[in-house]
Structures are given as structure tokens and as C-alpha cells.
Amino acid sequence: MEKNIKYVSTDGNNEDFIILCKELDQFLNQLVGGQDNRAEYIPYNQLDDIYDVVLAYDKQIPIGCASFKKYTREKNQENHIAEVKRVFVKEQYRGFGIAKELMNNLETQAVKQGYKKLILESGEPLVAAMGLYRSLGYQVTANYEPYVNMSKSICMEKIIGCYYYKKATIDDLEILVSSRIEVLRAANKLTEDTNMSEVEISSRTYYINSLANDTHIAYLVYDGDKVIGTGGISFYQVMPTYHNASGKKAYVMNMYTHPDYRRKRIAFKMLDLLVKEAKERGIKQISLEATEAGKPLYKKYGFTQMENEWEFQSV
């Protein structure tokens, strides 16, 4: 079912928002077995101090909402925190990415207002909601006031105004493969109509095997739910040498940042993560192949260009 969804910014006095919040309360009451079972939460879900709301519409029909309110705003800007409230999508519209888009819109508004962190309260019965928040980069944290002594509450937080680096898993397989193809097209100046089907198949096989046997680690960089960068490191064993008694080596590969996000230290942060992975394995020799555009970055990070390696390519 395709939906042409429109997202509108408004405030807590919006009638459509109020109606959706009533539906949300009915949904929560049903989920926990009645309003009495969530009575202690009701005082903290009032709308009178909510001034930032995003609504989702299917034509003229309000189908979803999300909002935030000020939690703390102090002289230290790092302590500017907003609390996410009243996230809801009508049942028949779930599964189409609407809640994710609502949250992304909300985060954009919070960043523009100078907030540095978003916090929220959820709970184990809200399985889909918890999954959504985790996919967007939220992490479980200690319960904050007023939920400190509420054992059924699960509180989460996300640092905003910066990019989210995620260690890839097999669940990210297709994203990894598509990013690999994008990197190869860019590095080799290939057109979109260049046939990459064989490389795509081989790359998919490589990721499946290397992620399973832990010989490759990849990271993805997100701005919201958009992949804006990638990087990987492969681990392998050679014969021990005088300078490398363990014989362990690592090779950095697939470094790429979307052109719109370059010169923001994203690649530098990526190198930090990859080099850390190698160091934790006791690997001291890390190599890579650099494009002309990438050489200044690697030199600045501390990589040195080698002169003693030779290569032979059989015909």
C-alpha cells in the first residue's frame, strides 16, 4: 500500500494532535489492561507544555504524531535536553516508515533549536516502538525524573546534532553491498550503466563469510536514517617477521563519505573506530590503498607512504 504522506510542524494546541493523543491513550490502555494500570504515567503526558509537534497526514487525514518538550536548558549548551513525547501512528498506517520520518523531522527541529540530546520514556510492552528507537540510534540509559522509581519504565537517549556511527551486522548486508558498489564506482570513475553484477555477487559473498568468521568489520555512518559514509577493516595473518612477530595485519578499505558531508571529520572519526578495532586485536601493522583525494587525510592521521612493497598482476 503506497502512501503519499505529508508532514506538518505545529504545536500542542493543534486539534488533530489532541485527537491523535487521545487515540494513543486508548491504545496504551488496551495494551496494559486498562487506564488504572498506567495511572501513574498520566500526569506526565499532558499537552500544556508541549510546543513542538510534527503531524503526519494522508491527504487531509491526520494519521500520526510526535512531539518534544524542554527538559533542561542551561548555560552549558551541552545540557540542552528535550524529551520526546506522544509518538503515535494509526494502526493501519504502521509498517510504512511513517514513525521513523516523524522522529527524523522532530530531531531536525530539536537540532535547530540548539538541543544536544533527546530523551524518552518507553517500556517492554511497546516492542515496535523500542525497535524503532534503537534503529534511530537511541540507547537505554538510567531512568530520569519523574521515572526514576518506576520499574516498568525504560528510558533512552540520543545525542543529536552529530552523526551516528554503527558497527554493521549481517542485517545490514544489502546496505554494505550497495555502499561497496558506490565506492567502487566513485574510485574508478565508472558510470551508472557500468555492469557491476559480478562484483556485487562477490561482495555479498565476501560480507556473508567475513562477518561470520570475524575477519572483517564495517561501520556505517548515518545522518538520521540516511547512510552518508562507510568504512571497513579486514584482518589477516602472514608469516611472522622481525618487525611483526605476531604476523597479524589489517587492511583498511571501503572508506567513503558522501560528497555533501565531506570536510566534517567524518572519515577521520571512521579511521579512529577502525584503528581501535585493530589495536584491540593486538595488530600494529595497518595498511591501505589511497586515492589522491584521500592521501591528505591518511597523512594527517599518521599513515606513511611505503616504498618497499611490489605488486604483480597475472594476465
How many Cα atoms sit within 13 Å of 245 on the Cβ side? Answer: 0
Confidence at residue 1, expressed as pLDDT on a 0 to 100 scale: 42
| Alpha-carbon span 289 to 55, nearest angstrom | 47
- Dump pLDDT digits (tens) for 157-186: 998 877 788 899 999 999 999 999 999 998
The burial class, CB within 10 Å (0-12 / 13-18 / 19+), for 306 is exposed
| Alpha-carbon span 68 to 117, nearest angstrom | 11
H/E segment holding residue 220: strand 216-223
Q: Picking from 88-97, 168-177, 234-243, 261-270, which range would have the lowest pLDDT averaged per residue?
A: 261-270
C-alpha cell at 229: 559514509
Confidence at residue 78, expressed as pLDDT on a 0 to 100 scale: 57
- Dump pLDDT digits (tens) for 304-314: 988 887 878 77
| Alpha-carbon span 25 to 41, nearest angstrom | 11
Whether the pLDDT of residue 75 is over 80: the answer is no
Confidence at residue 77, expressed as pLDDT on a 0 to 100 scale: 55
Whether the pLDDT of residue 30 is over 80: the answer is yes
The burial class, CB within 10 Å (0-12 / 13-18 / 19+), for 187 is middle
**Under a CB-based contact definition with an 8 Å cutoff, are residues 127 and 74 in contact?**
no
The predicted model scores a pTM of 0.55
Confidence at residue 108, expressed as pLDDT on a 0 to 100 scale: 84
Confidence at residue 155, expressed as pLDDT on a 0 to 100 scale: 97
**Under a CB-based contact definition with an 8 Å cutoff, are residues 19 and 61 in contact?**
no
Whether the pLDDT of residue 242 is over 60: the answer is yes
